[in-house]
Structure 1
Amino acid sequence: MVFHSSFAPIDIPTNGVAELIFENRNNIPDNKPILLDAHSDRVITFGQFKQGVLKFAAGLQDHCDFQAGDVLAVFAPNTVDYPIALIGAVAAGGSTTPANPAYTVKELAHQVGLSGAKVIICSPENVKVALEAGDQCGVARKNIFVFGESVVDGVQPYTNVLMNGRQLRAPLPIANPVDQISYMCFSSGTTGLSKGVMSTHTNITSNLLQIDAVLGPHMNANKDRVLGVLPFFHIFGLSVVIHMSLFWGVPLTVMTKFDLPLFCETIQKHKISFSCLVPPILVLLAKHPLIDSYDMSSLRQIVSGAAPLSAELSTEVQSRLPHCKLIQGYGLTETSPVATIGDFSNPIEGSSGVLVPNMSVKIVNEDGKEVGINERGELWCKGPNIMKGYIKNPEATAGCIDSEGYFHSGDVAVVDERGSYSIVDRIKELIKYKGFQVPPAELESILLTSPIVADCAVIGVYDPAQATELPRAYVVLQPSTKPSDAAAKELMDFVADKVVQYKRLRGGVRFIDAVPKSASGKLLRRVIKDWVKEEEKAAKIDAKL
């Protein structure tokens, strides 16, 4: 059976992302502070933001020969002017691909090359990586810029070059928003190579209005304050934090990265009332003694996402912060991102919420049969927010979007009588570390290049203390190497040198005699996961004795 959203349908916007924000449906005054820096006194008003976007767009055209359809890569941590660059390229008729600022040269070159980025803006800390990746991908050095005020390794601040000339009168009209790409965020694939997700203008604008239909009634632009601590290169931070704040006209205070004392201090100082967070941060809110040293009473609404939030952790957070309501959302980069979200009027612990407007879903079991209420199956999603597809990868696109337009999520869900969805399992073998996807096959391929490794398998092991999965390697050593703590550390360091920080083997290394495989040679990770379950069961029994 097909399940439909209980919300009234939204009208699908017929314009582009920048046009929708400039349309200013919520009558935001130009002099209203809209972007605030948590690390300084820097403030950007809504009028300054719009002017910055239009100058940035014109600067791209004049200095980088940026044409409609061209791509800007933003390779930087959160910064207060990140939204100007992000949306500036879109206002110029192009698209933006935001990249993880911790990427290695190889990882960045993959994204820049696949997306076809013509311009790169980076942070002072990662200029060398940007230059090397740009050289590999044929990006002209004159088209590489840096955030901040200083020249770094010969790379000019974008403000010196792009912001001193003319400005556009308005964002360039998007003739075909259903088809034209606005953003290309990258989502890890099970084979190791990340896939570029093509989000059209309609995908993003529709999802903004879908989210607004559920959360908008609970937001007050005159009183609320949003904290931007989630990474802006991730679709959750990009869409739900940046774009929703700009659409609502709610001031957004930007943190470069998560730091617990600064996080608490910022909430207290800026009277933050709303924040999107992930379960590992919620663990700290529930348990860390530092929380009691700050006035957190302004924080009244939290949306958790990017990874499952248990009912137990939700209860702990709300016991610690009784003035705060906590809901959970569900989605993927491919759904732009929100497919379901909780309702602050009726939070249900452990639930990922209800379908946003204009969404329909099927729940399909292992036999390919559509199932009903309180039955498990893979969640298939359909709506205006479903991606166009993967960049230059029609096979992967066809493999997850069927002929009826349903996106096969790879997540196992259950829906109850109230229309409340819970994600209960995952079909894909991806590991989720603090909301980031880690493909085990990538780590296995790296480990197999080590001279001391004969064979290996990598799985995710859940750590309740951090409310996240941790990548753990099970390794068969070469006969010349004996199992030891030193060998385990050598392999953890070996992997750490070759991957972005969130892909490290934080779950450790275990040595085994043989990797379990099927008769056809397929690696059987589920067998190793059964080992882990038995270990955990035995540990619980020992603890009781």
Structure 2
Amino acid sequence: MEFKQENYYNSEERIWYGKPERTYFSKDQSIGEIIFREMKRHPKLIAQISDTENTILTRQELLLNSMRVASFMRKMGMVQTDIVGIIARNTTHMFAVAYGCFFNGIAFHSLNISYEESTIGKLFDITKPRLIFCDGDDYQKVKAATAHQNVMIVTMRNHHKDSISIDEVLAATVEDDFKPARLEQGINQTLAILCSSGTTGTPKAVTINNSHKIFNYCPLTTDDVQYTHSTLDWVTGLLTTVTSGVYSTTRVIADNPFDPARLLRAIEKYQITWLLQPPSQIAMIANCKEFDEANLQSIRCYMYGGGRTSIESQNSIRSRLQTDCMNMAYGFTELGTMVCMNDNFDQKPNSAGHVVEGFKLKILNEQNETLGPNEVGEICVNNGQHWSGYYGNPEETMKIKDSEGWFHSGDLGYVDDDGYLYVIERKKDMLKYQNIMYYPNEIEQIISQMPDVADVCVFGVWNQFNGDEAAAAVVKKPGSQIHAQDVVDFVQRHTDAKYKQLNGGAVIVDELVRSANGKTNRLGTKAYFLDIKDRN
């Protein structure tokens, strides 16, 4: 599978353009309508295989289950302005829930299973879902987080005695003339809502519309077997759910914590052709003991993005692929798809690649002036389409997308003379641990509760397996006997979120590194922390 991206650079505008967007389906068709039609066209093909639950569904079976979920919602009296909540793993019937929402034109708001009760409460307070699908494992947490709301909860597995089970939903009667609903707002209508944290730690709900750009980035056929471990709260999980429905592929799923050895076995067992991963999983695969004996010959498209990974890990995997099909991608949740893809690893190994079709890109300096090739600034992207913004948060929406339709990514980078984008670092403070986004100030607020702490700075220390491991530099109050391990232990006791632990450690310092204006210099403090660690 080849992604031959081409750029056009307008030197007067200082803007890089991708190729014109291709059209595969009628532009006014919703994603739900397209998937419904395509599933009817290929009823006997295998739609889904669960490697962990040992289930197989044909497209006909998955279509019927999806219609049953949609019918259940219709009988509840749900309308297109309602929201469905999702906080669940990739279990057998999870994608019938997603397609059922698509068929009804009802957006789902999907959260990560690792979120704390307080975070779940904040996020669902934004969208106020009428119906929530979750695993029985998380029922009590979700129930407590939404106790003040009038919400029905359906469990997907390990059913709680007080919940409705997915089996009851799948018993719903489907009318003979069932059809997907026409969207009241056309393709500008919200398809799904994913999560993104704000710089203050306040969660934001990112709307994704029914744009065909979601699936135009990747040519797939009925011969393809797709896999991503991402759940529906990740844009990669949403992309895979949409593309497998649109292109009638076979999708392999699993509901276990990521296990590199198990995935390697699955690749050979199911002859997976299409793989989409975050960088941390690449490192885990390349460094697991089973890798040397693994058979990756079936893969013809290996995509990864969402952070950085070592060249050594990438080269290890590339050496085992039958064709040169490993592509780094760059994008962000607000766009709902990929922006750039690198199809030339050998010459541009650290690049995010060329701008994909239907997008344009520019680089801005601090004065909002457009920069030319090889000049570092903020990466800005325009997809030429409507965006409903952050749900219920117009103020933050205006900060990321300007009046001319440009998304300001918060990432620093440059484009070289050949039109290849290089991402240097995040302008924002956002960090990612095992692909869960978090902000340093969330952990700083916890540490600041310690009576012996005078000041604190939290930052990410990169680990090829986990991504950004939180670490802290702490200034203790005079006369205090606090130690670094006390800080680590305190954070562990005050949050049950693994990604918010001080996985990178802590140090006690006399003072934090500060900028000329007196503000804490996070990068300078991090450098000081690393120097202390190296000397010890």
Give the whole-Å Cα distance in 2 for the aligned partners of 1:34 and 1:176. Answer: 29
Deviation at 1:245, TM superposition (A): 1.8
Give the whole-Å Cα distance in 2 for the aligned partners of 1:5 and 1:247. Answer: 26
Deviation at 1:370, TM superposition (A): 0.7
Which AA in structure 1 matches 2:444?
Answer: E
Query: Which residue of 158, 164, 187 corresponds with 1:156?
Result: 164
- 5 Å matches for 1:366-405? 366-384=366-384, 387-405=387-405
Deviation at 1:361, TM superposition (A): 1.4
In the other structure, the counterpart of 1:207 is 214
Deviation at 1:444, TM superposition (A): 1.0
Local SS of the residue matching 1:268: helix
In the other structure, the counterpart of 1:253 is 252
Query: Would the aligned equivalents of 1:2 and 1:360 in 2 still touch at CA under 8 Å?
Result: no
Which AA in structure 1 matches 2:375?
Answer: E
Give the whole-Å Cα distance in 1 for the aligned partners of 2:206 and 2:380. Answer: 17
Specify whether residues 207 and 456 from structure 1 end up closer, same or farther in structure 2 by C-alpha distance, changes over 3 A only: same
Give the whole-Å Cα distance in 2 for the aligned partners of 1:467 and 1:323. Answer: 28
Give the whole-Å Cα distance in 2 for the aligned partners of 1:436 and 1:6. Answer: 30
Structure 2 stretches lacking a partner, 5+ long:
1-12
Specify whether residues 70 and 287 from structure 1 end up closer, same or farther in structure 2 by C-alpha distance, changes over 3 A only: same
In the other structure, the counterpart of 2:30 is 16
Q: Deviations over 1:386-413 (max 9, x none)?
A: 7421122111111111111101001112
Q: Deviations over 1:92-144 (max 9, x none)?
A: 221100111122211111111101211111101101011111213x133xx11
Local SS of the residue matching 1:60: helix
Query: Would the aligned equivalents of 1:273 and 1:300 in 2 still touch at CA under 8 Å?
Result: yes
Query: Which residue of 127, 139, 148 corresponds with 1:127?
Result: 139
Deviation at 1:336, TM superposition (A): 0.5
Specify whether residues 483 and 106 from structure 1 end up closer, same or farther in structure 2 by C-alpha distance, changes over 3 A only: same
Specify whether residues 417 and 386 from structure 1 end up closer, same or farther in structure 2 by C-alpha distance, changes over 3 A only: farther
Deviation at 1:178, TM superposition (A): 4.4
Deviation at 1:523, TM superposition (A): 2.8
Structure 1 stretches lacking a partner, 5+ long:
none
Give the whole-Å Cα distance in 1 for the aligned partners of 2:111 and 2:259. Answer: 21
In the other structure, the counterpart of 1:514 is 511
Specify whether residues 384 and 251 from structure 1 end up closer, same or farther in structure 2 by C-alpha distance, changes over 3 A only: farther
- 5 Å matches for 1:362-511? 362-384=362-384, 387-463=387-463, 465-466=464-465, 468-479=467-478, 481-484=480-483, 486-497=485-496, 500-511=497-508
> Please, what TM-score do these two structures have when normalized by structure 2?
0.90
Query: Would the aligned equivalents of 1:335 and 1:385 in 2 still touch at CA under 8 Å?
Result: no
- 5 Å matches for 1:85-124? 85-124=97-136
Local SS of the residue matching 1:425: strand
Query: Would the aligned equivalents of 1:335 and 1:386 in 2 still touch at CA under 8 Å?
Result: no
In the other structure, the counterpart of 1:45 is 58
Which AA in structure 2 matches 1:85?
Answer: V
Deviation at 1:309, TM superposition (A): 3.6
Q: Deviations over 1:427-463 (max 9, x none)?
A: 1111122333211111111221233433211111122
Give the whole-Å Cα distance in 2 for the aligned partners of 1:308 and 1:480. Answer: 42
Which AA in structure 1 matches 2:68?
Answer: K
Deviation at 1:329, TM superposition (A): 0.5
- 5 Å matches for 1:346-357? 348-357=348-357
Give the whole-Å Cα distance in 1 for the aligned partners of 2:66 and 2:179. Answer: 9
Q: Does 1:287 align with 2:306?
A: no
In the other structure, the counterpart of 2:339 is 339
Which AA in structure 2 matches 1:288?
Answer: C
Give the whole-Å Cα distance in 2 for the aligned partners of 1:387 and 1:433. Answer: 28
Give the whole-Å Cα distance in 2 for the aligned partners of 1:433 and 1:462. Answer: 9
Give the whole-Å Cα distance in 2 for the aligned partners of 1:503 and 1:21. Answer: 38
Deviation at 1:479, TM superposition (A): 4.4
Query: Would the aligned equivalents of 2:277 and 2:303 in 1 still touch at CA under 8 Å?
Result: yes
Q: Does 1:221 align with 2:222?
A: yes
Deviation at 1:534, TM superposition (A): 4.5
Specify whether residues 504 and 460 from structure 1 end up closer, same or farther in structure 2 by C-alpha distance, changes over 3 A only: same
Which AA in structure 1 matches 2:194?
Answer: C
Which AA in structure 2 matches 1:523?
Answer: T
Specify whether residues 519 and 345 from structure 1 end up closer, same or farther in structure 2 by C-alpha distance, changes over 3 A only: closer
Report percent identity of matched pairs.
22
Give the whole-Å Cα distance in 1 for the aligned partners of 2:159 and 2:53. Answer: 21
Query: Which residue of 524, 529, 532 corresponds with 1:527?
Result: 524
Local SS of the residue matching 1:327: strand
Query: Would the aligned equivalents of 1:310 and 1:350 in 2 still touch at CA under 8 Å?
Result: no
Query: Which residue of 168, 178, 184 corresponds with 1:169?
Result: 178
Q: Deviations over 1:485-511 (max 9, x none)?
A: 5414422413433xx322222111211
Local SS of the residue matching 1:135: coil
Q: How much is the aligned-residue C-alpha RMSD, in angstroms?
A: 2.5
Local SS of the residue matching 2:378: strand
Query: Would the aligned equivalents of 2:433 and 2:466 in 1 still touch at CA under 8 Å?
Result: no
Local SS of the residue matching 2:290: helix
Q: Deviations over 1:312-360 (max 9, x none)?
A: 4322321354656211111111111311123389984222122121111
In the other structure, the counterpart of 2:48 is 35
Q: Does 1:56 align with 2:69?
A: yes
Q: Deviations over 1:204-238 (max 9, x none)?
A: x32312x1xxx31xx4422x211231233211221
Query: Would the aligned equivalents of 1:477 and 1:483 in 2 still touch at CA under 8 Å?
Result: yes
Which stretch of structure 1 is more off in the superposition, 315-324 or 27-36? 315-324
Query: Would the aligned equivalents of 2:103 and 2:180 in 1 still touch at CA under 8 Å?
Result: yes
Give the whole-Å Cα distance in 1 for the aligned partners of 2:98 and 2:471. Answer: 35
Query: Would the aligned equivalents of 1:444 and 1:456 in 2 still touch at CA under 8 Å?
Result: yes
Give the whole-Å Cα distance in 2 for the aligned partners of 1:446 and 1:101. Answer: 21
Give the whole-Å Cα distance in 1 for the aligned partners of 2:281 and 2:96. Answer: 27
Which AA in structure 2 matches 1:510?
Answer: V
Deviation at 1:46, TM superposition (A): 1.3
Specify whether residues 534 and 479 from structure 1 end up closer, same or farther in structure 2 by C-alpha distance, changes over 3 A only: closer
Which AA in structure 1 matches 2:499?
Answer: Y
Specify whether residues 3 and 533 from structure 1 end up closer, same or farther in structure 2 by C-alpha distance, changes over 3 A only: farther
Which stretch of structure 1 is more off in the superposition, 482-491 or 92-101? 482-491
Deviation at 1:32, TM superposition (A): 0.6
Give the whole-Å Cα distance in 1 for the aligned partners of 2:47 and 2:367. Answer: 50
Aligned residues: 520
Local SS of the residue matching 2:172: coil
Which AA in structure 2 matches 1:388?
Answer: S
Which AA in structure 1 matches 2:411?
Answer: D
Local SS of the residue matching 1:390: coil
Which stretch of structure 1 is more off in the superposition, 100-109 or 256-265? 256-265
